[in-house]
Structure 1
Amino acid sequence: MGTKPRATDGQQSFLGEAPMKPLIKPNDKPHYHGHRERLRERYAVAGPDAFADYEFLELLLFRSIPRADTKPIAKALLARFGSLAEVLGAPLHLLQEVQGVGPAVALDLKLIAAAGQRMARSEIKGRQILSSWSQVVAYCRAAMAFEPREQFRILFLDKKNALIADEVQQTGTVDHTPVYPREVVRRALELSASALILAHNHPSGDPTPSRADIEMTKTIIDTAKPLGIAVHDHVIIGKNGHVSMKGLQLI
């Protein structure tokens, strides 16, 4: 018996089929590599305002997801949560429910959100708060607007209305936070604060103050005033805006 000749690339092989050739050459880069380079170049030239939310989110995901196309992941995150701010404000466990987002990616997104909060806080630290009101609101929005549960936050001010401390006193449910006026005043005395700005969020998105919000605020004012502690305002933060009780002449 003679030896069968081996099939070459130009010959037929088993059952008459030609050998399959790889669709992608080993040295070819995936299509998204060029896309990433183009996005980076656009950002360098045009800056962030030239980007749609999904494109900006793609850029953020590049370092967290180095070997995959981040566009569908960015679009899936926005479809789930609604906006870039809501993506960054979403809890870790909900972020991980989006396909392609693992624990490390979710944590990176939360770190970006935390960095934004710290930047906003640095804008008001050591400044005369009442003359930097827009920065105060921006900070409260960054810190609270997309929290899934209500938080009651207090900004403690000195005699010059500069920020001494910023603390979350209570965290409650989706529609209620227990607040104890005596604890608010006790903490103000511990910090030698002369004034307070109160803030809390409404996870429902509607910042309209409830009757309970108004009554609680008036109780804190009545408790603090005899001790020389002023309450400048109570700001309620929603996903799409905020309300100042002082601005509404409710206090």
Structure 2
Amino acid sequence: MMIKLREKILAYGVSTLKDEELLAVIIGNGTRESKVSEIAKKIICQSNSLNLSLEQLMSFNGIGVAQACKILAAVELGTRKVQSDTLSETIVSVDDIGRHLINKIGGAPQEKLVAVYLNNSYHVIDEQVIFIGTVDQATVHPRDILREAVKMSATQVVVAHNHPNGSLMFSNDDQEFSLRLKKCCHLIGINLIDHLIITKKTYSSLKSLNLI
């Protein structure tokens, strides 16, 4: 099994492996009772995106401390890689930003408000997590977003926050906050391009719904 997976990686690249195959490579070996592929498939089927503790992983037959630590380390490394990814400095569209943020915050367990700052030519200057928690007018103020825009001389901004429950619907708070932010942006000459709701697989746009 492991030899075949290594040959597949060498021949076609690691991206061609299924989730359970990637996990099998990390685990390494199976047991007398279960093949490593069977163990890996069982863990994938019974977990939520490998969101398991050390104890939960070790409850699977064939997974000891060493294998459980390897899995946790691999998951953490993947999470850090996603968090470190940034948009390129080339010209970007709202769709580019939406797809990028699906990977970056779509699976986050808490709401995160992110601001992507651009210049007049739609080149990304920077992106920052502004707030972690429930996004509403009581907890997030436009000044928190615009302060950074002024510092970096950004002329345009896209804001986005994720919905951990998977809903693409904008709440009244979402719309009111966006309208308030748009007014503040206008006062200092910054264009609010859009406000996006991000989920694990897709995103929605306030502007496309004519809500701002």
* TM category, shorter: 0.7 to 0.9
Cα–Cα, structure 1 residues 49 and 105, in superposed 2: closer, same or farther, change >3 Å? closer
TM-superposition CA deviations, 1:136-167 (whole Å, max 9, x none)? 22210111111111100111112222111111
Aligned-partner Cα distance in 1 for 2:173–2:42: 38
Query: Is the CA contact (8 Å cut-off) linking 2:103 and 2:200 kept in structure 1?
Result: no
Aligned-partner Cα distance in 2 for 1:105–1:220: 42
Tell me what 2:20 maps to: 54
TM-superposition CA deviations, 1:9-56 (whole Å, max 9, x none)? xxxxxxxxxxxxxxxxxxxxxxxxxx1001222343455675433223
Tell me which of 57, 82, 90 is aligned to 1:127. Answer: 90
Query: Is the CA contact (8 Å cut-off) linking 1:201 and 1:236 kept in structure 2?
Result: yes
Query: Is the CA contact (8 Å cut-off) linking 2:194 and 2:207 kept in structure 1?
Result: yes
Aligned-partner Cα distance in 2 for 1:98–1:48: 23
Q: Secondary structure at the match of 2:2?
A: helix
Aligned AA (1:242): Y
Aligned AA (2:114): R
Aligned-partner Cα distance in 2 for 1:48–1:135: 25
Farther off after superposition, 68-77 or 237-246: 68-77
Tell me what 2:3 maps to: 37
Aligned residues: 199
**Structure 1 residue 111 corresponds to structure 2 residue 77:** yes
Q: Secondary structure at the match of 1:37?
A: helix
**Residue pairs, 1:126-145, within 5 angstroms:** 126-130=89-93, 133-145=94-106
RMSD of the TM alignment (CA)? 2.6
Aligned AA (2:10): A
1:217 deviates by 0.8
Cα–Cα, structure 1 residues 222 and 166, in superposed 2: closer, same or farther, change >3 Å? same
Tell me what 1:16 maps to: none
The alignment-based identity, stated in percent, is: 25
| TM-score, normalisation: structure 1 | 0.69
Larger radius of gyration: 1
Query: Is the CA contact (8 Å cut-off) linking 2:23 and 2:71 kept in structure 1?
Result: no
Aligned-partner Cα distance in 2 for 1:151–1:45: 39
Tell me what 1:7 maps to: none
Aligned-partner Cα distance in 2 for 1:172–1:244: 20
Aligned-partner Cα distance in 2 for 1:167–1:50: 32
Aligned AA (1:55): E
Query: Is the CA contact (8 Å cut-off) linking 2:195 and 2:205 kept in structure 1?
Result: yes
**Structure 1 residue 171 corresponds to structure 2 residue 137:** no
**Structure 1 residue 244 corresponds to structure 2 residue 205:** yes
Tell me which of 84, 94, 115 is aligned to 1:154. Answer: 115
Q: Secondary structure at the match of 1:193?
A: coil
Query: Is the CA contact (8 Å cut-off) linking 1:199 and 1:234 kept in structure 2?
Result: yes
Aligned-partner Cα distance in 1 for 2:115–2:39: 37
Aligned-partner Cα distance in 2 for 1:49–1:67: 21
Aligned-partner Cα distance in 2 for 1:52–1:108: 15
For CA contacts below 8 A with separation 6 or more, give which structure has more relative contact order.
2
Query: Is the CA contact (8 Å cut-off) linking 1:117 and 1:139 kept in structure 2?
Result: no
**Residue pairs, 1:182-221, within 5 angstroms:** 182-221=143-182
Aligned-partner Cα distance in 1 for 2:10–2:121: 42
Q: Secondary structure at the match of 2:166?
A: coil
Aligned AA (2:57): V
Q: Secondary structure at the match of 1:129?
A: coil
Q: Secondary structure at the match of 2:57?
A: coil
1:245 deviates by 1.3
